[in-house]
A and B are shown apart, each in its own frame.
Chain A
Amino acid sequence: MKTNKELYNERLTRIKKAIALEKPDKTPFAPMMDSFCARHMGYTLAQFCFDVELSNKIMIDSIKDLGEVDAASGTSSFAGGMGLIFMCRVKLPGRELPENALWQLDEQELMKPEDYDTIISKGWQAFSNEYVATRMNVDFELLGKTGAFAPIADQRMREAGYPVYGGGVVSLPVDYLSGGRTMAKFMMDIKRMPEKVTEVMDIIMKNNIETMKAGLKAAVDPIDVFIAMARGCPDFYSTKIWEKFVWRYLKEVTETCIEEGIAADFHIDANWERGLDYFKDFPKGTCVFETDGMTDIYKVKEKLGDIMCIKGDVQAGKLTLGTPEEVYNYSTRLIRDMGPGFILAGGCSIPPNAKVENVRAMVAAAAGK
């Protein structure tokens, strides 16, 4: 019988080997999951959101119940802080939403065009402190508790034998500005005042990279930096715009991760097929393409399979409406076709109403059972 420490080391090695494109002893299974854990363990999403210590227990118990999970995607609920990734308000279960509804971004035009000037004159930190305090609906008490409990939550997860898939997190400027301004207003900003937007983006990027580096210094066994890139999808922009307002910053963040010796985890939302060729120049075994099922994973394999690890992509719909057999067969096919640099996971976060037996089918497929 292996100890938790031994299992922890085994799992950590497995994940790191997959990222380095070496052959691990088995395909790692490292799903993003939080809301699923709550429903799996019989709690409401409101309970999960507002009780930080309980959310940590729920995540550990859910992972233990599933068995062979190689890394946790987090250690407690972060729903209360989700808006900070997009500089917009959130609606939470038990607050604005029913007890069991999923937390969601509530996008409104909180940031005004004149704020670009303020950011340029005062800097991002001074602007964002005021912005977060007065315009967003952050529950500071909850956020404070989450921060204070984070080291304990992290330690408890690791003591249970599970590494934490993460270590750093960084948002791209496009997510801050399109979330704060709204997507439509942001699109007009880049048409009306491209140079000003670029100046602001440079300021945000500098700040976020510094914050990311500081976070990495404090992290225990960091595996990767989670790069949030929801609004950066190349399908949303003409090539020229995308290169100037998205790719330039994504490349900068990635190169910083590589310099820091940490894997860059591209958390891909939506269809990035048009942008795949851009990723070809990164050094082999330094990045993870974490995809949600919207980009054809076989095209990712064809273009980038020899360069970076692929993570994904059992779709949320399949986990909710599909059968265990379908999920098992799909997962097994991915393991056969994507490896060895492959980590099995759901496409983005496993939804709260995913069938537990479907998630177990992923575990079984990864274990080769």
Chain B
Amino acid sequence: MSKKLVEAMADLEEDAVLAEVKALKAQNVPALDIIAYLQEGMSIVGKRFEEKEYFLSELIMSAEIFNEASQLLGGGMGGAGSSKYGTFVMGTIYDDIHDIGKNIVTTVMSSNGFNVIDLGVDVPTAKYVEAIKQYKPKVIGISCLLTTAFDNIKECIQTLEKEGLRKDIKILIGGGPVDEATCKYVGADHVCKNAQETVEYSKKYMGV
């Protein structure tokens, strides 16, 4: 256990994190162990966020530092692998290229131990279908910042139903104009007003 790395990650000390990752690598510590230390630091970041010691600025910084450190080990956030909980697939629905909200949610979910598959922005239905078949998530998130894309979420969810992929997953939606009425209209399961709500809902559903 590298207490130094865990603490540097939790305190967002970028230089110290990178130096320690390099040092551990030079000592032939397995990459997966180093990732685990980083993830432990990220869990502390998540806890501090919950306790309102940290805010989104710190979450985004933590994700950047984590990614940078992962690059030294030959992988990005998605390569973190050993998540404690299940897989969460997320993207911004097609015709919408807003990415900040989606990035916040994927960062918070990752730091809370979920294996996150980020599909990006302007995501077509086929890509959700493919990701669900491949990664078998229990929860998926659809971000939407445009009222003109409500019908696209609806179409996407209807397609998942037709493909027989809907019944075992929960579909969460979020974004500025999205509310309970939108949730009902598009046939999603729940509206998340913020990233923390996504974590809480997913943990509860996955029985964590």
- Give me the interface of A with B, judged by CB distance under 8 Å: 91, 97-98, 101-102, 104-107, 183-185, 187-188, 190-192, 235-238, 241, 269-270, 292, 294, 315-322, 348, 351-354
Contacts and interface: CB of A to CB of B under 8 A. Distances in A.
A352 B150 CA distance: 12
A238 B176 contact: no
22 contacts: A101-B95, A104-B97, A183-B100, A184-B63, A184-B64, A184-B103, A187-B64, A188-B60, A188-B64, A237-B55, A270-B176, A315-B179, A316-B147, A317-B177, A317-B179, A317-B182, A320-B150, A321-B147, A321-B181, A321-B182, A322-B181, A351-B148
Contacts of A318: 179, 181
A185 B67 CA distance: 12
B147 A187 contact: no
Contacts of B60: 183-184, 187-188
Shortest 7 CB-CB contacts between residues of A and residues of B: A316-B177, A351-B147, A320-B147, A237-B57, A317-B177, A187-B60, A238-B55
A319 B55 CA distance: 32
B92 to A, nearest CB: 11
A303 B103 CA distance: 32
Contacts of A354: 147
Contact of B56 (A107, A192, A236, A348): A236
B20 to A, nearest CB: 18
A321 B148 contact: no
A107 B99 contact: yes
B180 to A, nearest CB: 9
Contacts, number: 86
Contact of A236 (B55, B96, B98, B176): B55
Contact of B177 (A101, A183, A320): A320
A238 B58 contact: yes
A40 B103 CA distance: 34
Contact of A104 (B58, B98, B147, B185): B98
A235 B64 contact: no
* B interface, over-half SS: helix
A237 B56 contact: yes
Contacts of A188: 14, 60-61, 64
A183 B98 CA distance: 12
B54 interface: yes
Max chain A Cβ within 10 angstroms of own Cβ: one of B55, B99, B150: B55
Contacts of A185: 64
B148 A191 contact: no
Contacts of B179: 315, 317-318
A270 B146 CA distance: 14
Contacts of B54: 238
Given A106-B97, A294-B176, A351-B177, A191 B182 contact: no
A317 B55 contact: no
A104 B93 CA distance: 14
Given A104-B96, A191-B14, A316 B55 contact: no
A238 B179 CA distance: 27
Contacts of A317: 147, 177-179, 181-182
A262 B58 CA distance: 36
Contacts of B177: 315-317, 320, 351
Contacts of B116: none
Contacts of A105: 97
B108 interface: no
A269 B14 CA distance: 31
Given A91-B97, A236-B57, A241-B57, A316 B14 contact: no
Contacts of B181: 317-318, 321-322
B170 to A, nearest CB: 21
Interface in B36-70: 54-58, 60-61, 63-64
A181 B97 CA distance: 17
B12 interface: yes
Given A104-B96, A187-B61, A316 B56 contact: no
Contacts of B99: 107
Nearest to A294: B176
Nearest to A352: B148
B190 to A, nearest CB: 15
Given A236-B55, A315-B179, A320-B177, A101 B61 contact: no
